[in-house]
Structure 1
Amino acid sequence: MFQNYSFKTAERFMRYVQVDTQSDPQSQSIPSTEKQKDLSRILAEELQQMGIKDAHVDEFGYVYATIPANTNKNVPVICFCSHVDTAPDASGTGVKPILHQQYQGQDIVLPDDKSIVLRSTELPYLKKLVGHDIITASGTTLLGSDDKAGVAEIMEAAHYLITHPEIKHGIIKILFTPDEEVGRGTAKLNLDKLGATFGYTLDGGEAGSLEDETFSADAVKLIIHGVITHPGDAKGKLVNALKIAGEILSLLPKDRLSPETTEKKEGFIHPIRVDGLSEKCTIDFIIRDFVTEGLQEKELLLQELVKQVLKSYPKSSFEFIVTEQYRNMKEVLDQYPEVVQNAKEAIERSGLTVKMESIRGGTDGSRLSFMGLPCPNLFTGMQAIHSKKEFISVQDMNKAVETIVHLAGIWEEKASLILEQDI
């Protein structure tokens, strides 16, 4: 099917990563940064140039587009989705992508900061990529494969489907979202406008991986109220909220229940931000567990710890505000087994071995699943994301494109089987 096809996935990707789309967790605007729309506009224009007439960017930075069906069969409408923003963890300004052709297992020294070296001893996936073409950044920024790899792969798959009408498929929806990295990727999504029945995010890692399970997630905002007085006249009066915050943080378990001490399906309590003065201090936490009921257990534990500390400060008080972020998408996907099964088959048709994984995090697919669009997560090839050592294989990206195309065809094939059974 792809023997004589000249993939342009890498070229697309290397153009897209040079557009700064970093999101901002402290911003309250939607999208959180206007520069995300710069890439959204490029994508909509490229889709229109492919012949997708309805491709457009809305006021919030979402890109919507439709590839019409080329079959008369009753195929469910499938959506492929990726996010345009990059993480706040490392700079996304001035990304200089570098193509390392025919990687042979050597250390890769990034030229703009030679202290940053990609070694297979530290990044074992590199051992699987001998002979591949690898893309990195230059050493001063992240690369942005999370999730511009997914964006490039969807764009290339769209091009393939449009230029190869012999691949029969139903209606295909394309969706690019802003602000996934700050947890607001679906905040202004119009599902009715999208009009899809099932979806797939392209936001995973190793080639062949398929994720149908995520953390369930809450945010906790702990606000500590102290008592402020002039420090020159503070004896017996001042209650310092900053010191209380420090005591609370010092009592968090050091050998469990933290990201740095857990793995696989173990959850955690994770402080991510402290802000305040001696009168009032706020600590932001994220709470994670694969079992939704485990969130409440961890929140109760944290609340009891806070109460324990505040017993020594009777003039102080606190607020404990819990906000739901997302839930384990497996709770929804188990009700629609065909969505995951078709993805497995598509990966296998691409010549890869399926690797089922659970995400120690969340994707837009988590929220989409609970919004009514069951949506597992497909691989893109991205590795060492959110860091200056980020890298990706061109061959892995092209396999993701193949998987998308096969998946579109499989849904059409399965629709024909259903019709024959009905007859």
Structure 2
Amino acid sequence: MQHIIDRFISYVTVDTESDASSDTTPSTAKQWDLANQLVDELKAIGLTEVTIDENAYIMATLASNVDHDVPVIGFISHFDTTPDFTGANVKPQIIPNYDGGDIVLNKELNIILSPNYFSDLLQYKGQTLITTDGTTLLGADDKAGITEIVTAMEFLVKNPQIKHGKIRIGFTPDEEIGRGAHKFDVEKFGAECAYTMDGSQIGELEYENFNAAGAKITFKGKSVHPGYAKGKMINSMLIANKFISKLPKEEVPERTRGYEGFFHVHHIKGEIEETVLELIIRDHDKRKFEKRKELLHKITKKINKKFAKQFGEDIVTTEIKDQYYNMKEKVEPVIHIVDIAEQAMKELGIKPLIKPIRGGTDGCQLSYKGLPCPNIFAGGHNFHGKYEYVPVESMQKAVEVIVKIAEITATKK
């Protein structure tokens, strides 16, 4: 257990926060610090073909130890952390034999991780938890996944009696800003399928995710003296508000779950003459996803028609860009790779939790690039904030799942 703890802490204490406003890859220079550390470590544990390219994508190989043909499989995680909350100066706290009560993350700031609010904590009573100190995120998303992959590869190197085919591993930058798979060289990786170790609680196994798009909607207006504005002023902020009011009120993140899709207004900035609204569109169902995009265009057209005479041109412009698609379409034709992961969990006494991802992973983009890529739990909870934690036992189980998948793949006919 201590070996996993030490490895994990050595990763999370390196700041790798990504930056969506940057146009470089990786988006922040500090991601190179952990990337280079990982390259050295992969070589040290005995992997071969260890490479890092100009964009900090890392790949390595564990050679096959069987004399028959075995599909090449891969395991992938990302080393950046979200820009939603600071990842600088992470100070992990170790909570051995968790007693099921409140955990004081920061006494001075009165920050408490409580099972009264985060009920999942009670699943891990008696286990060892790693938490934040209440001032940063932890970085289990996805340094837990990296810890598990490296530890599993090290275990297989040291235990050659466990038979496996060729295994490829990959570590990526910038997943948290949606670019983790953009420059991933699938051909160079050379695997028939892969698994991202990027899920949350123990048992999660996912091969469905949202179809996703982003929309930028610009509203124009006319500014005149408010005392003499009757029939002349057009307030773009009020038009934006009217637009939002036309969206289905119940179809927002805070009121949906499971397979239910949503519209999410996440940014608005405006003044009288121009307001810019940004929102995201999410739905598992491709037909419903397309209808959501159509609705935005219909609302736009209706408002433009209403103001056509007064404004003289389109007062609203809507730009929609697809971001990623549901990997189910690409994974179902090779559903046996999900079956193998499910079998591995069951053989290890883990109850598989097969459910849709209410988001996306590198795996969904990689699946559309020709590398079918379901997602497996990495063990963390409460990602992207100060209440993030990970049970060490969950990381240990994830290591065992990786090893078991490799073993089953080598023996399955």
Same fold (TM over 0.5): yes
Task: Determine which of 242, 245, 252 is the counterpart of 2:240.
Answer: 245
In the other structure, the counterpart of 1:325 is 323
- Given the alignment of the two structures, is residue 342 of structure 1 paired with residue 340 of structure 2, yes or no? yes
In the other structure, the counterpart of 1:71 is 66
Counterparts of 2:49 and 2:330 in 1: how far apart (Å)? 30
In the other structure, the counterpart of 2:96 is 101
User: Matches of residues 319-398 of structure 1 in structure 2 within 5 Å?
Assistant: 319-398=317-396
Summarize the Cα distance change of 1:46–1:295 in structure 2 as closer, same or farther, 3 Å threshold.
same
Q: CA deviation at 1:228?
A: 5.8
Task: Determine which of 240, 256, 267 is the counterpart of 1:262.
Answer: 256
The worse-fitting range, judged by mean Cα deviation, of 112-121 and 263-272 is: 112-121
3-state SS of the aligned residue for 2:138? coil
In the other structure, the counterpart of 1:3 is none
Contact 1:215 1:359 survives alignment (8 Å): yes
Task: Determine which of 9, 13, 20 is the counterpart of 1:18.
Answer: 13
In the other structure, the counterpart of 2:401 is 403
Q: CA deviation at 1:176?
A: 0.7
Contact 2:124 2:391 survives alignment (8 Å): yes
Contact 1:135 1:394 survives alignment (8 Å): yes
Summarize the Cα distance change of 1:300–1:16 in structure 2 as closer, same or farther, 3 Å threshold.
same
Counterparts of 2:140 and 2:396 in 1: how far apart (Å)? 14
Summarize the Cα distance change of 1:321–1:165 in structure 2 as closer, same or farther, 3 Å threshold.
same
In the other structure, the counterpart of 2:286 is 292
Equivalent pairs counted in the alignment come to: 409
Quick one: percent identity of the two aligned structures?
Answer: 42
3-state SS of the aligned residue for 2:176? helix
Q: CA deviation at 1:282?
A: 2.2
In the other structure, the counterpart of 1:86 is 81
- Given the alignment of the two structures, is residue 279 of structure 1 paired with residue 273 of structure 2, yes or no? yes
Q: CA deviation at 1:313?
A: 3.2
3-state SS of the aligned residue for 2:207? strand
In the other structure, the counterpart of 2:138 is 143
- Given the alignment of the two structures, is residue 168 of structure 1 paired with residue 163 of structure 2, yes or no? yes
Counterparts of 1:17 and 1:84 in 2: how far apart (Å)? 9
**TM-score relative to the length of structure 2:** 0.94
- Given the alignment of the two structures, is residue 302 of structure 1 paired with residue 300 of structure 2, yes or no? no
The worse-fitting range, judged by mean Cα deviation, of 379-388 and 52-61 is: 52-61
Counterparts of 1:112 and 1:372 in 2: how far apart (Å)? 49
Contact 1:203 1:378 survives alignment (8 Å): yes
3-state SS of the aligned residue for 2:202? coil
The worse-fitting range, judged by mean Cα deviation, of 6-15 and 199-208 is: 6-15
In the other structure, the counterpart of 2:117 is 122
Summarize the Cα distance change of 1:284–1:28 in structure 2 as closer, same or farther, 3 Å threshold.
farther
- CA offsets, 1:230-253, max 9 Å, x none? 889877555343332233234433
Task: Determine which of 55, 58, 61 is the counterpart of 1:60.
Answer: 55
- Segments of 5+ residues of structure 1 without an aligned counterpart are 1-5, 419-423
Contact 1:99 1:133 survives alignment (8 Å): yes
Give the AA of the match of 2:17: Q
Counterparts of 1:258 and 1:129 in 2: how far apart (Å)? 31
Task: Determine which of 11, 32, 35 is the counterpart of 1:37.
Answer: 32
- CA offsets, 1:12-68, max 9 Å, x none? 111111111111222222222222222111111110111224223211121111111
In the other structure, the counterpart of 1:226 is 221
Q: CA deviation at 1:76?
A: 0.8
The worse-fitting range, judged by mean Cα deviation, of 304-313 and 182-191 is: 304-313
Contact 2:106 2:112 survives alignment (8 Å): no
- Segments of 5+ residues of structure 2 without an aligned counterpart are none
Q: Where does structure 1 differ by over 6 angstroms across 4 or more consecutive aligned residues? A: 229-235
RMSD: 2.0
